[in-house]
Amino acid sequence: MKRKIISLYLLAAFSTLVYTGCKNEGEQGPAGQDGLDAEVYYSQWITPTAWLGNSGDWYFDVNAPDLTEAVVENGVILGYVWLAGDIYDATTVRPLPAYAVDANWSFLISQYESIEFTSDMILKPLTTGNHFRFIAIPGNIETLKSASLKSKSETELRSMSYKDVCKYFNIPE
C-alpha cells in the first residue's frame, strides 16, 4: 500500500512538473487584425519637391528602405495618388496606374529600396497639391498565401479601394 501511495505522489509531482514546464511565461505580442499577423509597410503622403525628366516623361524618386528584394519580388506593392485639379473630386485618392488631369500616372521600382512615381503630362506636373503614397505587402504573410475568407489575393488587393486597403491592414489614412 505504501508503494502505491509513493507511486501516486511521484505521478502527481511528475505531472505538475510537466504542466508547469510547458507553460509559456513570455510576453504576448499584439494581435493581428482579423487573425492576420501581417507586417505591412506604408509611406506617408509624399509631395514631390521636383519632377525630373522632360515633356511626356516626368518622374520623381523616393527613398523606400522597406522595398527590399524579398518584398518587391514576392509581395504586392500598391501605389496611390491624390491630384490637385482632379475633376471628379479634389479629395479622391486614386490607385495607380490611373488616368486623371489629362495624364497617365503610375509608379515603378527600378531598384530595390526606391520607388519612382511617373507622369506623362506634356507640361511639368505640379509640385504642390499632388500627393503620392505606397503600401507594400510582403509575400510571406498569410494575406498572400491563403485562399481563406480572411485573406486577399493580389488581384483582390489591387481591386480594393484605398480606404478598404487601409481599413483591412489598419493603416492610418
Residue 125 belongs to some domain of the structure: yes
Q: Residues 61, 63, 68, CA angle at the centre, nearest 5°?
A: 115
DSSP code, position 29: P
Residue 138 belongs to some domain of the structure: yes
Residue 7 belongs to some domain of the structure: no
Q: Is the pLDDT of residue 1 over 60?
A: no
**Number of independent structural domains in the chain:** 1
Q: Is the pLDDT of residue 14 over 60?
A: no
- What pTM, to 2 d.p., does this model score? 0.71
- Predicted local confidence at residue 88, as pLDDT: 73
Residue 15 belongs to some domain of the structure: no
Strands annotated E in the chain: 41-42, 52-54, 57-63, 76-82, 94-95, 98-100, 103-108, 114-119, 131-137
Residue 22 belongs to some domain of the structure: no
Question: Grid coordinates representing 119?
Answer: 507622369
> What is the rounded CA–CA span in Å between residue 154 and residue 143?
9
Query: Could you read off the pLDDT of 40-87 as tens digits, one per residue?
Result: 999 999 999 999 999 999 999 999 999 999 999 988 999 999 998 787
Residue 13 belongs to some domain of the structure: no
Residue 26 belongs to some domain of the structure: no
Segment 118-132 shows an average pLDDT of 93
Domain hosting residue 96, numbered range: 34-169
Residue 75 belongs to some domain of the structure: yes
Q: What percentage of the chain carries pLDDT values higher than 70?
A: 69
Nearest by Cα to 97 from 110, 109, 72, 79: 79
In this prediction, residue 7 has a pLDDT band, given cuts at 50, 70 and 90, of: very low
**Largest alpha-carbon pair distance within the chain?**
99
In this prediction, residue 90 has a pLDDT band, given cuts at 50, 70 and 90, of: low
